[in-house]
Each structure stands twice: as structure tokens, then as C-alpha cells.
Structure 1
């Protein structure tokens, strides 16, 4: 009996020693790098690791080992349970860096600090281009592949607008995996609403636009006409001068937008003569909707244009334009920069 008690005590002592040594070794492996690295070497500086809904520490540890991100799945799981008692793992997509320790990886997953993705919509882009970008992003959920500009306008706006073009603010947006396209569109719509409202309050009231929406229409044309920031107020002054005197805007980008898929890469005489709701060579005043997503600079230039006596401009084929006061000056500029 005495021997049995001694044997049991010896075993218990041995287990206690092993536990202490094990916890020390686990702690060293968990928190430090060195000969026993927590993350195995891999080429990328950052990889994305997905934790599906319903995952548990064992499944996560096995997947981390399978992807070569940490060694020893079982030790991973047990150490996580030992050092982070009561912590719960959270579903999502996480960035793992090649100098992360196991403790950093698990702490990130248990805290739910997911990777932030980003997508950039450039100024002057059209709704169809936004849709294309979104459809090509692996971590954005497309709720309705058949979504149209009209349907989205119905979902987001509370006004009479029936077309989403020009109502989304072009910018870089950050989001977590699984964010829907509708969520991004709504965020961009609210950004545009706040931007136009802010600039509208500071507008030059002599500019001949009656509503913020008309300002967006004109701003979209200005956005498409020039990519040179310094030129936008001058381009705006040309169109404002034309509107004030009843001249047609005669903007080539409006022809292109009105042609849609029929645009052949070059504007032909027949295109200029074709009447569409957007062809400002054939209609008076503004087209019915914006033709693109204008940025803040184009909106500001529209509502605060410089004073000028220019009525014409022509491209110099280097991203800038020549501005003219009279048709005769304009024709000479066209002859110099376009026809030759």
C-alpha cells in the first residue's frame, strides 16, 4: 500500500514537472521567434487566411499547419486553449505576415481584427465600370448580378432620379471580406450626397444650374472633358458661358455616352448628327443625367468657375487644351492641333 502511494506521488510529481516544462516551452514557442519559429518561412510578405463560420481552434490549427503558416497543429490548439482561456475565434479573413508569432496570429483571430480590403473607383468612371471592378474582386459579394443603373437608383435614392450615373462618389473604399456590392454603392451614394450638399452651399449663384443634380450633370461633362486639374475651372467657364448665352454645349463625351455600345472608338460625322438624349450637339442645355461619376474637384469647378470670356477649347493631344474666345480663333487652333 505504501509503495503504491509512493508510486502515485512519483507519477504526479513527474506530470507536474512535465507540465511546467511544457508550459515554459509552449510559452517560448508561442511568443518568441528563433530556432522554434511559430510561423514557417514563406515567400509572400503577407498571406490571407480565411476562418469560416463555425470554425473551432482545432480546425483552425489544422488549416494553419496545412497552409504552412505554423507548425504542429495540435500544439497550436492546446497552447491557444492554455494561454487564452475562454477566448473565442471569430470568422473572417485575416492577414498573416511572415514575422508573426503564433500568439499574434491567434490573438488577431480571437479579437476579430480582420484584413481591410480596398477598391478604388476613379473620377470620370461610369457605373458599368464600377460593376466590372466589383465583379472581379474576390472578397465582395455581388447580391444581384443583373443589377441595372435604374434598379440601383430605385434602391438607394428617395427622389425622382431613375439613373444612378453621377450619384456615386469616386474614391477609395475600404471594407471587410463579405461586404456586398450594395453596401459599397450605398456608402458611395451617401458620400456624393454629402459632398454635393457641402459645395452647393458655397456655390457661385450666377452659375446657370437650378439644382444640385443639374450641377452633377455639368460636373460629369467637365470631368470627362479634361483630366488636368488646373484646367477644370476654365473648362467649366466655357460651358457656363455657353449656357448663359443659349449656345449648345457641344461636348464630345456626351455623344459617346449617348451611343453606348454603338460607339466605335472614333466619333464620326454620322455620330454627331445622330439625335440622342445625350448628344449636346443636337439638344439644347444639359442632358437628362450625368454621364460619369464626377469627383470633388470637378464639382467644385462647376459651382465655382473662374470668370473668362472663352467659348471654345480644343485638345492639344497632351492632356491639355487651347482655349479660344471666338470661332475664328477656335478654328485656327483646330487646324493646328487636330487636322494636321
Structure 2
């Protein structure tokens, strides 16, 4: 009897010790699971078939005991380890629990890129090549435009300037196609509501005119007046005489200083030489410029000149325009 009582006491003690040890281990695991491990915010790309315990090891080196305890925790709660591949933004002071929750969510990080009104397709392509997370499948802009169905290789004007969000691995073609579809939709809507009697025969011509307006002024409020000048000139079969069209036609030959010789140089885009609109847009027009082209102000203006304040002085005839040039440009 004495031996049996001692045996029972020993077994009871062992059980009690195991219970206490198990409880303490559980407490430690719970504390470790909620321990904050990231010093600063960071982007993390989770590859397919990566185990959560290996993610933890990559983000925060684990001692053998910590790795053992966390593996036990994940065996106890296997649903916590059902993570999804992708690129995620992990916040500063994130715990193992927070990291796991983010990787389970599937809410991958959204990069963004802002295409600015008035820039050219060449500038946008350069921006795309430097943007993080973008996958460049085609080696040249010509290949990309052909891939998107532009057989003439010219997408100028056809992409809507705004901010676009995308995920890791989005292709340049996919992003440009989104901008193209957005422009097509907005242009079609604007064309349907255009002012009656415009000397413009197609949505594409509206896009061309809008691109000139965009390059002529950065002031949204005066875009309808700038548009009215060009519309009035088109009605009277006058040359548009827009400096930005000359610059675009010069391409890489433009040195930053527009000369009289440049104004006389014949290109397809030089509206000091050609009549009507140039053959393509000269930049990517924004919504305001397109709206202005479709809804120009009612004016009798035929000229404008920069007034030095960021805006322009508008004139109804050449004599008044020459006076404005002397005042604002020649300072006489």
C-alpha cells in the first residue's frame, strides 16, 4: 500500500508538472505570437508555397526555442498559417500575429503611378520603366503600342492622365491599356455633349485640339478661352500659330529656345506653316482640356499672349495683340 500511494503521488506530481509546464509554454507561445518584431514599415513579397514559419525567420531571426514554440503554435492553430502569395505592406511594430493576419488577408499592396496632364507618350514610357512593381514585357515603346493595337505606333493623346493603382507584376501593357480605355470612354462621353457648330469632324480631332490647349495653358479656368481662340481661327481658316505644335514637330532637334527659323521650318505639326490641326495630338490632354475643346467659351478672340502671371492676355485683332506683345513680352 505504501508503494502504491507513493506511485500515485509521483504520477500526480508529474501530471501537475506537465500541466503547469504546458500552461507556461502556452502563455509563452501566446506572448511570442503577439510580440512586436518589425522596427519599420516595409514591403514584403510572399512567394508561392512559402511556409509562415519561414516568413517569420526572414523578417525576424528566431532562436531555436522561439522557432520550436511558434511551430507548435501553428500546429495547434493551423488555420493561422493559410497565407496567400503576393506583395504586402507590413506596418512598423507589427507582431507575428499581425503579419500572419495581413498575409492571410490577400489584400496585396497597391502601387500607384500618376500620369501628368500635358506630358508626352515618350515621357510616360520613361516613367513606366522606372516605376516599382511594373513588369516590362516589350523592349521598346513601338513594340508596346503595336501590342495594344496601334499599328501606326502612335499612342500620343490616347491615354487619360490620372493616378492609376496596380499590384506587383502588372505589365506596362496592362496599365497603358487601362489608361487607353479610360480615355476612350471619357472622349466618347464628351464628344456626345459637345457644343454645336464646332469646326471639328471627329472625336480624334477633338483630342488633337485638346492637346494643344493643354500645352498652351496650365490654368484650367482659362482653357475655354484658349479653346475659343483656336475654334475662331479654324472657322476663319486661319493658321493656329501655336508654339507647342512647332516644338513637338522639332522633336529632339528642339534645344529649349524657339527661334524665328523654327517657326518657318516646315513639319507636319508646325501650325505656323500648315492650316488646320496637326495630324496627331502633341501631348496627353487631361479632362479639363478635353472639356474646353468640346465647350469653348463664346468670344471674339483670335490672339493671346502670356502676361507673365501664369495666364494670358486675349485680343480680338492683330493690332491689339501687337500692343500686348510689346507690353508683356518686349516690355516696352
TM-score by length of 2: 0.90
> Offset of 1:240 from its aligned partner?
0.5
Alignment of 1:331 onto 2:331: no
> Offset of 1:6 from its aligned partner?
7.8
**Could you list the runs of 5+ residues in structure 1 that have no partner in the other structure?**
32-36
> Offset of 1:252 from its aligned partner?
0.6
Deviations 1:286-309 (A, max 9, x none): 111111111111100000111000
Question: Which has the greater radius of gyration?
Answer: 2
What is the alpha-carbon distance in structure 1 between the residues aligned to residue 294 and residue 152 of structure 2? 21
Instruction: Work out whether residues 169 and 191 of structure 1, in 8 Å CA contact, stay in contact via their aligned partners in 2.
Output: yes
What is the alpha-carbon distance in structure 2 between the residues aligned to residue 277 and residue 312 of structure 1? 22
Aligned to 1:218: 209
> Offset of 1:200 from its aligned partner?
1.1
Alignment of 1:156 onto 2:151: no
Aligned length, in residue pairs: 326
What is the alpha-carbon distance in structure 2 between the residues aligned to residue 243 and residue 51 of structure 1? 58
Deviations 1:116-165 (A, max 9, x none): 111111111111111111111221111113122xx44433247x764101
The partner residue of 1:120 within 114, 125, 131 is: 114
The partner residue of 1:192 within 154, 160, 183 is: 183
Alignment of 1:83 onto 2:81: no
Instruction: Work out whether residues 248 and 280 of structure 1, in 8 Å CA contact, stay in contact via their aligned partners in 2.
Output: yes
Structure 2 matches for 1:160-239, cutoff 5 A? Answer: 162-239=153-230
Aligned to 1:133: 127
Aligned to 1:250: 241
The partner residue of 2:258 within 264, 267, 278 is: 267
The partner residue of 1:25 within 16, 23, 28 is: 28
> Offset of 1:82 from its aligned partner?
3.4
Distance 1:238 1:105, change over 3 A: same
Instruction: Work out whether residues 61 and 74 of structure 1, in 8 Å CA contact, stay in contact via their aligned partners in 2.
Output: no
What is the alpha-carbon distance in structure 1 between the residues aligned to residue 138 and residue 15 of structure 2? 63
Instruction: Work out whether residues 57 and 77 of structure 1, in 8 Å CA contact, stay in contact via their aligned partners in 2.
Output: no
Aligned to 2:97: 103
Aligned to 1:307: 298
Structure 2 matches for 1:271-286, cutoff 5 A? Answer: 271-286=262-277
TM-score by length of 1: 0.88
Alignment of 1:62 onto 2:27: no
Distance 1:15 1:175, change over 3 A: farther
What is the alpha-carbon distance in structure 2 between the residues aligned to residue 242 and residue 227 of structure 1? 21
The partner residue of 1:38 within 32, 36, 39 is: 36
Deviations 1:250-304 (A, max 9, x none): 1111111111111100111121111111111111111111111111111000001
Distance 1:80 1:111, change over 3 A: farther
What is the alpha-carbon distance in structure 1 between the residues aligned to residue 290 and residue 72 of structure 2? 58
SS for the counterpart of 1:85 is: helix
Instruction: Work out whether residues 152 and 164 of structure 1, in 8 Å CA contact, stay in contact via their aligned partners in 2.
Output: no
Aligned to 1:50: 45
What is the alpha-carbon distance in structure 2 between the residues aligned to residue 79 and residue 182 of structure 1? 44
**Could you list the runs of 5+ residues in structure 2 that have no partner in the other structure?**
none
Distance 1:19 1:264, change over 3 A: same
Deviations 1:100-127 (A, max 9, x none): 3321211111222211111111111111
Deviations 1:201-241 (A, max 9, x none): 11112111111111111000100100001010000000000
> Offset of 1:85 from its aligned partner?
2.5
Distance 1:27 1:271, change over 3 A: same
Distance 1:279 1:57, change over 3 A: same
SS for the counterpart of 2:141 is: coil
